[in-house]
Structure 1
Amino acid sequence: MDMSTKIGEQPEAIRRVTKLYAKLLIAGFALSPIVLIAYLYFFQDPALKFENHLFHEMAIAAATLEGVFVTYVSWRCYQSSGEPLLRWLTLAFLGFTAIYALHGAFTGMAHHNIWLFLLYGPASRLAMAILLLIGLLSFNQEADSPGQRAAPRRWLIWIAAFLLVNILVAILAYSPIAGNPVVRLTMEGGALAFSAINVTLMLIGRIRSPLMTVFGISITMFGLSSLAFILGRPWNHMWWLAHAIFAGGFFFLSYGIIQAFHTTRSFAKVYSQEEMVNRLAMAMVKTESAIQELQRSNQMLAHLASTDPLTGAANRRHFIDRVDAEIARAKRDNLPFSLLALDLDNFKSINDHYGHQIGDEVLQGFVQQSLDAIRPYDSIARMGGEEFMILLPQTTMDVAVTIGERVRSATENAVFESILIPKLALTVSIGVSQFGHDGTSIDTIFRAADERLYRAKDMGRNCVITA
């Protein structure tokens, strides 16, 4: 029993329970940061802080380098597949990295202008959330053309847009409204709202491919990190937890990008285990069908290569191969075999009087009459024109004569019907030879059969000659 059959025979109740359990595991993993957020919110003193500028700068530098790397890998995947979702993922990673890098660069300004330090974080998360939502809306759209993928102008415009965001955030940080909590909460709340919309659309649309599941978990973690940032204060534990949650989502989404890079270069076409099993089964069926078709084609080619196309009898080359094999067996097992050399009498006159089409019908009818007269394991071949030979395995001269007489009588008594000729009489002359009696090589037994055939012609045709 194969694996696909075993999978198909699992009880329906177990299948449903395991699917539900898998969904709960995914949901539990995506929402697990809520437990940590609730713990810090209810049980930790929000005044407790860990302010370490060097550690923060190093963490942001590492995140920036990772962002650059993942942006490049996403771009390579997009160049290969042209998938619009990957274009927006590339822009989301690029935008986040370009804006978030200044959050680390201005860490030292925390005591001089706290807003120049703080606002780049929510701005980067808001930009990323918006671009990821646009990417989801482009899911399964038609791939971009190679010309669209290679156009540098599109990418330069977005880079300029991200630089403009950096300038606007700097201007906002030095404006009188920078200290208003609504500014930061609006950006952070916007990132949370866009993340929530993103996840909601995925659930409504039942988008469940493996990498899109990774995408959904990452978006959920991004949204929860924004919630933690809203609840936290600079340098307190909730603030640091928010960084950790966002980093987890960022790492997880990066993992999805790397998986796409190493498989299909597409974020929508990496298959689940069930899909892989089904596709493998389909591929195996197609492969088996192709192999069977190839075998049939090879058999047909072998048949065509060994058969006379007009009469369906074996051709000269195939018949000689059969006789060679029979000679080897006769020498090995000391068994006799015989040959019949046949020539239709006065066949040229049939072609001359009635035309070659009638002649072809006569040849076909003769082969059929001969097949009916010989044994199932005997074989007939057309050696050329109206000349034929019959191989009689394990047959002595006496038995060969009897079979030859059957063929001669069947031919003489056959009625060949056609539109033009209601009845046409046909006879055949036959020469017989036996391996061993007339020689032990193909040339000698062929020559003996041919000589006796010509003797039958000289003796008045329509007879079987053995000497």
Structure 2
Amino acid sequence: MSTSEGIQANEPHAAIRLVTQIYVRLLLAGFALIPAYLIAYLFFFQDPALHFENHAFHEIAIAAATLEGLFVTYVTWRCYRSSGEPLLRWMTLGFFGFALIYALHGAFTGLAHHNIWLFLLYGPASRLVMSVLLLVGLLSYRQSPDPVNRRVGTRYWLAWVAAFLVVDLLVALLANSAIAGALGVRLSMEGGALVFSTLNVATLVLRRIRSPLMLIYGISVTWFALSSLSFILGRPWNHMWWLAHAIFAGGFFLLSYGVVQAFLTTRSFATIYSQEELSARLAEAMARTESALQELQRTNQKLEHLAATDPLTGAANRRSFIERVEAEIARAKRDGAPFSLLSLDLDNFKWINDSFGHQIGDKVLQGFVQTCLDAIRPYDGVARVGGEEFMVLLPQAGLDAALAIGERIRLAIASTPFAREIGRGVSITVSIGISQFGKDGNTIDTILHAADQRLYHAKRRGRNCVIAV
């Protein structure tokens, strides 16, 4: 059974697959909603008046978040430069805008008792900007890649840096204005971040985007939405407010993990495959590999055959014949079984080439080999060792048996008309010399020499004969 068939045989029943798919989706939904459970716990079971005000801890946390944001911005930008995906461009801007705006939330921590709005408003502003840019990016998912010149355009990126700095300035002006303390200012920003993050999740669901990295993206954006909800329900320095920071940080960590995975693999959010796609691609790849291995095996067998045979007659070549004789010598020395060699030479073959041409001569050689194969035993071997010179290996045959086979070959050749294409067959005879291992020597050179000497003896005796002694 092939590998691909084995994979198909191990596929689970359709009902089992359906149940496991539902279970996985429930698990993912449960994981995405973990922050909601924590928010509900604090909202219903904790005193909102309890505070933990620690400026140094807050400043360190915001500084770490800003540095991480800048790092993830750089990694996302590198992915974008490689793939050109519009989603990655907008994600880069989202991370960068968040870092440039959110940094001031930490920088103004010390002013919390002097200008609370200058301290507070940069947080929701950064989340609002990031959620808007992420939604725009999601709407561009799977669009054509940006051209290379746009990916590296300095003016484009500097324009966005300027836009983010303008946002910083506008937030500062708003924080120092008379309406800064109005209830709707902070809630509008945080509520806007909640709305745009929720739209992100809804867009993912409606467009049925389910690739692994986009799944991470969806869970992260869900946490961003829940962090905004927690900020709305909380008050500065109480536990709900700190929980909101932790939820947003968790979503940011998860999304940055997806970005790093893209960076370490395909540099793309769109070309990461699901488990089902990977299984299908693995099965296809294994089937192609198996097919390629079978083709390679057939090619190797053809090459081995070509390397071991004479291309004209199909008989073994000299190298292959010598290897087989050496193997037979080793077996004879081990088991004591005799074997013999026949040295054959077509009589007056030059006359055939001169009279009828080399093409007819080739036909005669091909017919000669086929006639020999018909005359010898199935496990004997014929080899072409020269122009019209051949050898026959006779395993487990002494001189008497070799002489009988040699005579059978001689008679078959003499009575067979070859190359009937010319209208009448070409008659030819063969001279044969025989040697036996052990009796005529214990090395390949000695038994080959003995067979050749007897072949010459057959030639001197008038050709068309077999000489064994």
TM-score, scaled to structure 1: 0.89
Match of 2:339 in 1: 337
Give the 3-state SS of the residue equivalent to 2:422 in structure 1.
coil
- For residues 100 and 387 of structure 1, do their structure 2 counterparts lie closer, same or farther at Cα, with a shift above 3 Å needed? same
Match of 1:108 in 2: 110
Aligned equivalents of 1:368, 1:164: Cα separation in 2: 94
* Aligned pair partner of 1:174 in 173, 176, 181: 176
Aligned equivalents of 1:80, 1:7: Cα separation in 2: 40
Aligned equivalents of 2:253, 2:144: Cα separation in 1: 28
Q: Which amino acid aligns with 1:251?
A: F
Moved more, 236-245 or 96-105: 236-245
- Shift of the alpha carbon at 1:222? 0.5
Q: What does 1:150-169 correspond to in 2, within 5 Å?
A: 150-169=152-171
Determine if contact 2:375/2:412 at 8 Å carries over to the other structure.
Answer: yes
Match of 2:37 in 1: 35
Give the 3-state SS of the residue equivalent to 1:314 in structure 2.
coil
Moved more, 11-20 or 135-144: 135-144
Give the 3-state SS of the residue equivalent to 2:428 in structure 1.
coil
Q: Which amino acid aligns with 1:15?
A: R
- For residues 313 and 123 of structure 1, do their structure 2 counterparts lie closer, same or farther at Cα, with a shift above 3 Å needed? same
Give the 3-state SS of the residue equivalent to 1:430 in structure 2.
strand
- Shift of the alpha carbon at 1:309? 1.1
Aligned equivalents of 2:143, 2:294: Cα separation in 1: 38
Q: What does 1:418-437 correspond to in 2, within 5 Å?
A: 418-437=420-439
* Aligned pair partner of 2:443 in 418, 431, 441: 441
Aligned equivalents of 1:138, 1:411: Cα separation in 2: 83
Correspondence 1:58 to 2:51: no
- Shift of the alpha carbon at 1:101? 0.4
Aligned equivalents of 1:449, 1:97: Cα separation in 2: 93
- For residues 272 and 110 of structure 1, do their structure 2 counterparts lie closer, same or farther at Cα, with a shift above 3 Å needed? same
- For residues 452 and 153 of structure 1, do their structure 2 counterparts lie closer, same or farther at Cα, with a shift above 3 Å needed? farther
Gaps of 5+ in 2: none
- Shift of the alpha carbon at 1:9? 4.8
Give the 3-state SS of the residue equivalent to 1:372 in structure 2.
helix
Correspondence 1:356 to 2:395: no
Aligned equivalents of 1:94, 1:278: Cα separation in 2: 38
- For residues 412 and 256 of structure 1, do their structure 2 counterparts lie closer, same or farther at Cα, with a shift above 3 Å needed? same
- Shift of the alpha carbon at 1:445? 1.7
Correspondence 1:375 to 2:367: no
- Shift of the alpha carbon at 1:316? 1.1
Moved more, 80-89 or 247-256: 80-89
Q: Which amino acid aligns with 1:365?
A: G
Match of 1:122 in 2: 124
Superposed CA deviations along residues 337-382 of structure 1, whole A, max 9, x for unmatched, are: 1111111222222222222222212211211121121112111111
Superposed CA deviations along residues 167-189 of structure 1, whole A, max 9, x for unmatched, are: 23223333444444444333323
- Shift of the alpha carbon at 1:388? 0.8
- For residues 324 and 38 of structure 1, do their structure 2 counterparts lie closer, same or farther at Cα, with a shift above 3 Å needed? closer
Aligned equivalents of 2:211, 2:424: Cα separation in 1: 74
Give the 3-state SS of the residue equivalent to 1:111 in structure 2.
coil
TM-score, scaled to structure 2: 0.89
Superposed CA deviations along residues 233-256 of structure 1, whole A, max 9, x for unmatched, are: 333443333222211211221232
Give the 3-state SS of the residue equivalent to 2:378 in structure 1.
coil
Q: Which amino acid aligns with 1:267?
A: F
Aligned equivalents of 1:147, 1:425: Cα separation in 2: 81
Aligned equivalents of 2:400, 2:324: Cα separation in 1: 22
Moved more, 144-153 or 249-258: 144-153
Match of 1:328 in 2: 330
Determine if contact 2:80/2:151 at 8 Å carries over to the other structure.
Answer: yes
Aligned equivalents of 1:138, 1:144: Cα separation in 2: 11
Aligned equivalents of 1:371, 1:318: Cα separation in 2: 17
- For residues 459 and 67 of structure 1, do their structure 2 counterparts lie closer, same or farther at Cα, with a shift above 3 Å needed? same
Match of 1:222 in 2: 224
Aligned equivalents of 1:252, 1:335: Cα separation in 2: 77
Determine if contact 2:367/2:419 at 8 Å carries over to the other structure.
Answer: no
Moved more, 344-353 or 84-93: 84-93
Moved more, 331-340 or 226-235: 226-235
Q: How many residues align?
A: 467
Q: Which amino acid aligns with 1:69?
A: F
Gaps of 5+ in 1: none
Q: Which amino acid aligns with 2:236?
A: P
Aligned equivalents of 1:412, 1:144: Cα separation in 2: 82
Determine if contact 2:347/2:430 at 8 Å carries over to the other structure.
Answer: yes
Q: What does 1:169-318 correspond to in 2, within 5 Å?
A: 169-318=171-320
- Shift of the alpha carbon at 1:230? 2.8
Q: Which amino acid aligns with 1:430?
A: I
Match of 1:455 in 2: 457
Determine if contact 2:80/2:89 at 8 Å carries over to the other structure.
Answer: yes
Aligned equivalents of 1:60, 1:138: Cα separation in 2: 30
- For residues 36 and 326 of structure 1, do their structure 2 counterparts lie closer, same or farther at Cα, with a shift above 3 Å needed? closer
Q: Which amino acid aligns with 1:8?
A: N
Aligned equivalents of 2:36, 2:119: Cα separation in 1: 26
Correspondence 1:395 to 2:387: no
Moved more, 26-35 or 392-401: 26-35
- For residues 39 and 322 of structure 1, do their structure 2 counterparts lie closer, same or farther at Cα, with a shift above 3 Å needed? closer
- Shift of the alpha carbon at 1:435? 1.5
